[in-house]
Amino acid sequence: MTHQTETTEDKKGPGIWSAIAYFAGVAALVAGIWLIDDPRGPDPTLDAASESTTTTTVAEVEVNTPTVIPGDEPIADAAEVILPSVVRIETPSGVGSGVIYDRDGLIMTAAHVVEGHDTVRVRFADGTQVDGNVLGGVTEVDIAVIEVDRTGLPAAEFTRDKPRVGQTAIAVGSPWGLSSTVTAGIISAVDQTANCSLGGCASLVQTDAAINPGNSGGALVDRFGRVVGINVSIFSSSGANDGVGFAVPSDIALDYAESIVSGEPIETAFLGVSGGEFNEEGRAGALVNAVTPDTAAEEVGIEVGDVIIFFDGVEIQSLFDLSAQVRAHRPGDTVQLILLRDGEEIALEVTLGVKPEELN
């Protein structure tokens, strides 16, 4: 299964700096991988509306399972913990992966793995197979939830702690349809801006653990076997692993999965600014060219000409970075912005809102 890329125009030449391949997986025979021209995609407006499907209310999820203390083979120890919790997901269009996050039948995956399907086939680590119902998905963050009629499943443990750059990272899934496959590397970056599309970008965990088509929806875990992210995409000039893979951070994945399960309305945050790039006197940031009326930005007094340089502690070097950080939050979250105005730094606390109806 391939996924629609960040632009609708394909380029296949070697001059591409870095093409991104969304990778739900492969069908019976390996299909071609879509490539794109610009990995950053179109100019973001920072405020893409959320598009999602939610059905069925399920009981509160459980995400706690014991961890182990790594020994002489920490990767093997972590793999032993997580492998029973990772499943293979089959659809008429390909193969992907998923992670059991509730013992009573809830499985998290990437939204593009199940996009366009109401039911899928789920294969567990012990080889048993069942049909699963797609409860819903949020395309902007690429997270979806599947429900199966099983109880007592080996649920993975998720950690909401941000991983450290350089720490061990282990990816588990079904690359090229090969179930229960483990690869290892490190966390290459956190808060990395990527997958720009639909008027916004995503803030993702980057890893050099080998990720290929079919890994989508699988687990990225630490050395304790705790899930730190859900694998969703790669940058690649070849269509396969180039050592630059991306995962949705586990805290974001959990928040959206819980909203899908509960059936509550799902919206991404909205700041209310648009603009361009700023790079003067060695400082980079997001230059505000317009402030949308009746939004969080107007309420706290952000002005045209301001340059946003930090968003809740994350350095902002471009409009794409700002878009990614806004999208990583939910309406009602309060964040701190640091901006430049007339050469002076100003700190503002902003409670993010929702996109005005008239802009939808």
Contact assessment for residue 103 and residue 147, using Cβ atoms and an 8 Å cutoff: no
Contact assessment for residue 52 and residue 139, using Cβ atoms and an 8 Å cutoff: yes
Residues 6+ apart with CB under 8 A from 344: none
Out of 50, 180, 216, 318, the active site residue is 216
131 HSE (CA, 13 A, CB side) = 5
Nearest-angstrom CA–CA distance, 305 and 215? 43
Nearest-angstrom CA–CA distance, 209 and 241? 9
Active site residue 216: yes
Active site residue 3: no
Out of 104, 112, 233, 321, the active site residue is 112
Nearest-angstrom CA–CA distance, 28 and 258? 33
Give exposure, 174-193, as e/b (b: 16+ Cβ within 10 Å): bbebebbbbbbbbbbbbbbb
Out of 142, 222, 306, 321, the active site residue is 142
Cα torsion at 124, 128, 131, 133 (round to 10°)? -30
Give exposure, 202-233, as e/b (b: 16+ Cβ within 10 Å): bbbbbbbbbbbbbbbbbbbbbbbbbbbbbbbb
Nearest-angstrom CA–CA distance, 209 and 203? 18
Beta strand pairing call for 119-123 and 94-102:
unpaired
Residues 6+ apart with CB under 8 A from 161: 228
Largest Cα span, the chain: 64
Alpha helices in 57-182 (DSSP H): 74-82, 111-114
Active site residue 142: yes
Residues labelled as active-site residues: 112, 142, 216
